[in-house]
Amino acid sequence: MSKGSCRFCGEELSTIFVDLGISPLANSYVESVSQKEIMYPLRTYVCEHCFLVQVEDFETPEHIFSEYAYFSSYSDSWLNHCRNYVEHMIDKFQYSSDTNVVEIASNDGYLLQYFKEKGISVLGIEPAANVAKSAIEKGIDTVVDFFGTQLANALKEKGKTADLLLGNNVLAHVPDLNDFVKGMKVLLNPQGTITMEFPHLLQLIEHNQFDTIYHEHFSYFSFTTVSKLFAQHKLSIYDVEQLETHGGSIRIYAKHSENRDLSISQAVQALLEQEASLGMGKIDIYKSFSEKAVELKREIMGLLIELKNNGNTIVGYGAPAKGNTLINYCGIDRDYLDYTVDRSPYKQGTFLPGSRIPVYSPDVLKQTKPEYVLILPWNLKEEIMEQTAFIREWGGKWIIPVPEMRVL
């Protein structure tokens, strides 16, 4: 997108959705407290023509994603979600050893491994070489590249096309949306299905999930807008499911518009009507979001200040990108959080970008016995509270920051 124009429809952008100040790249963990770091404005705009919410471009995908700190396999609940998805797809479409499954942004093979176990042919596409290496070590055939029309055409020429083309939490990471969706049209077999999962903009607005906004997420989608995007490239969304993942996501099912064998489900019209009734096709709902984010920021900081003034120790659990948005927007540093912990060895021993809060192994919780644990990946709160139930032994409590501040 050229600065100031919508990355889907090209209209000029002038309406701010929310301004989260300045922030480093949310997944760029630093090795030392003195390491130099670039900060960028974290402003999101809403297009008044197609209602796509989007951040400004500051860095290329090559800079952001070629070495990446997010490994999908470190969340048990996410792996269960993916295992269930594979079972659901095989049951729904009767996939067999003749089926070709291609995943865009296949990460460390977290999902394709379950198709492979069933004897189904898989191909992963993953631009981050360090993450793709983990998939290849699991025996998942992986192309290390960014997806778009160029790669789609190259794969098609080699006879590699998809009966099922899927992508989880990748659509938001794409700066050139039109090229990306056009590439999916190229790679999909005539009777094939695309499934894409991504956080639902309606949930982001209704549940004040401002922390899910960061530079790596170029776009934020309502169902209405994503339907228009796919239709523009002769792909029809024929079914949709609402999911609880990532604080509220949707899974869309798309086909070639020319494919008459798959009928449009009632869920499609129902969700379009729900979004219309809640005002997703009018600008007012977008303009009022910023105030909600500011109110929650004040609540979070008010509680942390009160707890610290009373002599309590507060630490974090998790080092997710969303946590870094929340921490940097609220101005949280080591004066508030002594440290955070994360299960990923890739993040342990580093410091959070911007705040310079150190990241340790979860074992440190038992050594230091903090009074409060701030759960940064709040979408995984049940899993994390179960893993850290031992903090109750010394009277420890959890803080859940989003969608509203709660102490449990």
Q: Is residue 71 scored above 70 in pLDDT?
A: no
The model's pLDDT over 156-199, given as tens digits with 9 standing for 90+, comes to: 999 999 999 999 989 999 999 999 999 999 999 999 999 999 99
In Å, how far are 147, 182, 264, 360, 368 from 190, measured between CA atoms?
20, 14, 17, 49, 58
Q: How confident is the model at residue 57 (pLDDT cuts 50, 70, 90)?
A: confident
- Segments forming the whole domain that contains residue 361: 303-407
pLDDT computed for residue 67 by the predictor: 54
CA distance 115 to 99: 10
CATH of the domain at 366: 3.40.50.720
The answer on 327 and 211 residing in a single domain is: no
The answer on 377 and 242 residing in a single domain is: no
pLDDT computed for residue 144 by the predictor: 94
* Assigned domain for 321 exists: yes
The answer on 313 and 256 residing in a single domain is: no
CA distance 68 to 63: 10
Strands (DSSP E) along 3-61, which ranges? Answer: 15-23, 40-46, 53-55
The model's pLDDT over 215-242, given as tens digits with 9 standing for 90+, comes to: 888 999 999 999 999 999 999 999 999 9
Mean pLDDT of 377-399: 96
The answer on 223 and 367 residing in a single domain is: no
The answer on 238 and 310 residing in a single domain is: no
pTM > 0.85: yes
Nearest of 321, 304, 313, 308 to residue 364 by alpha carbon: 313
* Assigned domain for 152 exists: yes
The answer on 154 and 83 residing in a single domain is: yes
CA distance 23 to 332: 12
**Domain boundary, last residue among 198, 233, 260:** 260
* Assigned domain for 195 exists: yes
The model's pLDDT over 277-299, given as tens digits with 9 standing for 90+, comes to: 999 999 999 999 999 999 999 99
